[in-house]
Amino acid sequence: MKIYVVKARASIKEALKIIDANNEGLVCILDDLDKVAGLATDGDIRRELLKGASLDEPIEICSNKDFIYANDSDDRESLLKLLDSNIKAFPIIDNDGHFIDLISKKNLPLSKDKKNFARSKAPVRISFGGGGSDLTHFFSKSKGAVINATISIYSHAILRQREDNLISIKSWDLDEEIVESNLERALSKKSKLGLIQSIIKLINPSYGFDLEIYSDFPSHSGLGGSSAISAAVLGCFNEFRDDPWDTYELSELAFQAERLNLDIAGGWQDQYACTFGGFNFIEFTKETNIIHPLRIPRKTKLELEENLILCNTGISHDSGNIHDDQKKSMKNKNIENLVRENVEHVYTIKNQLLKNKLNDFGDSLDKSWISKRQFSEKISSPLIDRIYNGAKENGAIGGKLLGAGGGGFFLFYVSPFNRNSLVKYLKSIELEVFRFNFDDSGLQSWKTREETL
């Protein structure tokens, strides 16, 4: 800064020394309040000397008070345009008139790093078949397979790094918040945010942060919502990693946090679905899990979006308890054989979707549900049976409860000409109907500059 400015009462000789040092051909002249009062170029000084001024006279006699300058809030584009207008150099001045820097073609600094925050969103999934075969205790002995698709209902997360060690975690879904002075205290605090604490414990961030989570769906929906929440949180932290996790690693971390660290019983498909996105046919064996993305024709997707009806039963359920009960019932050979039959049935569903045989697909949903409800006595109930039977009487070709069962969301397939009659029936028994589009992107995360908001 000192090589670009001079006090108004300094001598012309001193000003010339500064101009010689900065090699920009000018100097900024400051008044008694250290505000920029004018500029003096070597040409301005030369003209005054030719008029008879001496080198000992104050530089202010050479000052050009009608000078071009930029404000410290001006963007880089504005500075470039001034330089491109044959203006060789100009000062940047703050709102109080104080000198900040001198800009020229030789001195145009890069913008300083701005503070960023991370955002992410992860979709929930609807499953079409194979549920129960994605449980480790099943596919360790016999191959499992499921087919699912992600939809435009999301869990969202926002993460901002802090300059101190404070940890702030807020779930708008659960109306629960943790604010602690450090990570250890935040992770040890008893709260309803056990899943999020489990994920953060795996990540073990070395910085303080503010984290917020909110979702488009209610708790215990059967849509794989906990996995979507896990993926969204992981996606935000992944934005700040030098070596980002890939999609498989994100899925495995989400599985570890929920299934192993929290010991919540359940399968593998949800974590893969919400991170990979799209229509997926997933095979499970003791050795490896393989995700096969399905190239469903566009017109098939559009028809499915119109003919699939998603509705909330409003019945709360505990998927972990249902999976535990299912694990016990799987010791019964008849139940184990039903799950194997459902796995074979998944291959049929895959072909029906790829070949646009959608009425057959609806029939397959019906067969899958009839089979699935036998896995555990907790999967269905007299109320759930009444809803399902009423839906079929009002035009549904087939359908199923999503997730483990016991409550949450129903998915029905209906022909185009019976759609409105089915929706009318569902609303008449006070079930909330959701429209959706398919999501092909899976987990998405990105960074945003705070000052752009």
Question: Catalytic residue positions?
Answer: 270
Token duo for residue 337: 């054989």
| Residue from 127, 129, 126, 125 nearest 349 by CA | 129
DSSP-derived pairing of the beta strands 5-7 and 26-30: parallel
Find where tokens 């010689």 sit: 20
> Distance between terminal CA atoms of the chain?
31
> d(Cα 134, Cα 268) in Å, to the nearest integer?
6
Radius of gyration over every alpha carbon of the chain, rounded to an integer in angstroms: 33
383 closest CA partner among 309, 320, 316:
316
How do beta strands 167-171 and 209-215 pair? Answer: parallel
The SS3 of residue 126 is strand
Nearest CA to 342 among 429, 273, 284, 406?
284
Is residue 440 within 8 Å of 280, Cβ to Cβ?
A: no
Give 272: exposed, middle or buried? Use CB within 10 Å, 0-12, 13-18, 19+: buried
HSE-CB at 5 with a 13 A cutoff on CA atoms is 18
Burial class of 382 by CB neighbour count within 10 A (0 to 12, 13 to 18, 19+): exposed
Are 187 and 144 spatial neighbours (Cβ–Cβ below 8 Å)? no
CA distance 391 to 447: 44
Q: What are phi and psi of 127, to 5 degrees?
A: -105, 140
